[in-house]
Amino acid sequence: MTPFARHLAGLIRADGPLRLDRFMALANAHYYGTRDPLGAAGDFTTAPEISQLFGEMLGIALIDHWERSGAPSRSHRGELGPGRGTLVADMLRAAKLRTTFLAAAELTLVETSPTLRARQAATLADYAPSWSDNFAAIPIDAPLYLVANEFFDALPIRQFVRSDTGWHERCVALDDGGEFFFGLSSSDGPAGRSEDPCLSVSEHSAILEINEPARAIAAEIGTALNGHGGLALIVDYGHARTALGETLQAVQAHRFADPLAAPGEADLTAHVDFQALAEASGATAYGPVTQGTLLAALGIETRAQALIRTRPDQAETISAALTRLTDPGGMGTLFKAMALTGPGGPHPAGFTP
């Protein structure tokens, strides 16, 4: 056992089983806090790490929305969970086409990992970003232009399992041999969630996942957009509509792993429930559309061709990245994008009316 796993085991011995969301929050805080997990040598690769095309397209969507909102002189730019800072760097490079968009930039990065903050500081030194541990702490007083790629999937979920005796909450316990195992709480759950439409259609041994922090952050984003305008683009893997089913997964060294085998050493994620995010936001929601659809609508093929003309030696790499980002066999269909805006804001580019 790693020292961190021993720490978790100690918590369980002292206070009893950990609720799944608490386990996931602790494990991911340790995981992200102690490493840069991205890239071939890490555990997983994300769209911005595959190609600059991804960030450029999202950047164009934000600038387009800002321009059609009358190019407000002050606005907030932000990213939730920026990883290496690559997405913002590519977005803002695309924004050099519109120097007035860049001029009034107040860039805030929501990041809890000290390791990744240092990485972001190096990537984004030119843009003087500031950091926040959470979105709610950013004082928003102007239109908000926000992106989040593979952020919501890393937030901790609660799981409720239907049995003959009702709903029981999943927790992590220790067996006699000192190994972690998934158990179920004896009490009924989900308390106070009777309004959730899933409950009435559930079947025996159905599993319901609820991401409370994701809903809370979506509500905060919605408040900012409804009050000050702007656009938030959320890209992640998940389902368009609330659905039953278990989606917790662990990834380590680009392979699926047992979520309990080495807590804090693997990335724990769950499918994002876009419907829940849209509803919690209270904002105007567009999509989700598939990542492939969005990128195609924003002109990624034209941009890829232009890039190939300036770097013919990279033609194969650029074409392969384009395929991986947009093809149904790559990230094109599994990943989805949703746009949130304030009331009366322009229709976001790339989302069919």
Tokens of 112: 């809890």
| Closest by CA position to 209, among listed 222, 220, 221, 198 | 198
Q: How far is the CB of 38 from ligand SAH (least distance, A)?
A: 6
Q: Which is closer to ligand SAH, CB of 32 or CB of 66?
A: 32
Is residue 133 within 8 A of residue 116, CB to CB? The reply is no
For residue 336, the minimal CB distance to ligand SAH (Å) is 14
CA angle 122–92–268, rounded 5-degree value: 60
CB 170 within 8 Å of CB 182: yes
The smaller minimum CB distance to ligand SAH, of residues 149 and 291, is found at: 149
Minimum distance from residue 176 beta carbon to ligand SAH (Å): 33
Asked if residue 15 lies in contact with residue 50, where contact means CB atoms within 8 angstroms, the answer is: no
Report the interhelical angle of 3-15 vs 20-33 (nearest 10°).
160
> How far apart are CB 112 and ligand SAH at their closest, in Å?
4
Would strands 166-174 and 267-269 be described as parallel, antiparallel, or unpaired?
unpaired
Q: How far is the CB of 116 from ligand SAH (least distance, A)?
A: 5
Six-digit token pair at 246? 């278990």
**Count of other CB atoms within 10 angstroms of residue 21:** 21
Give the CB-nearest residue to ligand SAH.
81
- CA 262 – CA 161 distance, rounded (Å): 24
Compare residues 46 and 281 and give the one whose CB is closer to ligand SAH: 46
Rounded Cα gap, residues 146 and 181, in angstroms: 38
| Identity of the residue, 151 or 351, whose beta carbon is nearer to ligand SAH in the bound complex | 151
Report the C-alpha gap between 132 and 108 in whole angstroms: 7
Nearer to ligand SAH, 148 or 322 (CB): 148
Closest to ligand SAH by CB, 91 or 307 = 91
Tokens of 69: 């909102």
**What are the residues whose beta carbons fall under 8 Å from the beta carbon of 181, sequence distance 6 or more?**
172, 173, 174, 175, 260
Backbone angles phi, psi at 235, to 5 degrees: -120, 130
Question: Minimum distance from CB of 87 to ligand SAH (Å)?
Answer: 6
Provide the minimum distance between the beta carbon of 195 and ligand SAH in the complex, in angstroms, as a whole number: 26
Task: Using CB under 6 A, list all residues that contact ligand SAH.
Answer: 28, 32, 38, 46, 48-49, 81-83, 87, 110-113, 116, 149-151, 154-155
Q: How far apart are CA 129 and CA 193, in angstroms?
A: 39
Residue 334 CB, shortest distance to ligand SAH, in Å, is 14
**Residue 11 or 29 having the CB closest to ligand SAH:** 29
Which of 38/225 has CB closer to ligand SAH?
38
For ligand SAH, give the closer residue by CB, 81 or 143. 81
Residue identified by tokens 């709903």 is 167
Compute the least distance from the CB of residue 280 to ligand SAH, in Å: 16
Prior bond of 288 cis (ω within 30°): yes
